[in-house]
Amino acid sequence: MVAADRRRLFLLAALFSAALGAAGAAGPAAFDGTRALRDIERLVAIGPRPPGSAALARARAYFEGELRAAGWRVREQPFTAQTPNGPIRMVNVIAEWPGRRAEVLAVAGHYDTKV
């Protein structure tokens, strides 16, 4: 895995872990580095996750389950992307945590890998 991919994966895990931590807390959640590392290790153990692959579906199921367990409302947004390799079925994952204000905060990231 190249350094840029490692950085992206760490950022995704950090965002993922922060989101899970925020779910059960009344105030701001503290970052849990141990939890972030555990999540990274589980995602890396799945192996490469190219778009449309069974491995990508396993990664998606893992973090959707973790988000649901933490109380997030999770839904999938399937679509077909036109790629240089032809059409590929992809899935956006949308997790919502209701707030008390009208403002919306969106955090986005990739959970697939490019090989």
Q: Are 90 and 79 in contact (CB under 8 A)?
A: yes
Q: What amino acid occupies position 39?
A: D
Supply the pLDDT for residue 58: 97
Question: SS3 sequence, the chain?
Answer: CCHHHHHHHHHHHHHHHHHHHHHCCCCCCCCCHHHHHHHHHHHHHHCCCCCCCHHHHHHHHHHHHHHHHCCCEEEEEEEEEEECCEEEEEEEEEEECCCCCCCCCCCCCCCCCCC
The whole-number pLDDT of residue 18 equals 57
Residues 51 and 90: beta-carbon distance below 8 Å: yes
Q: Averaged in consecutive runs of 10 residues, what is the pLDDT profile of the chain (115 residues)? A: 57 58 55 91 94 95 93 94 92 91 86 82
Question: What is the pLDDT, as a whole number, of residue 59?
Answer: 96
Q: Where are the domains of the chain?
A: 3-96
pLDDT of residue 41: 94
Estimate to the nearest angstrom the gap between the alpha carbon of 73 and the chain centroid: 14
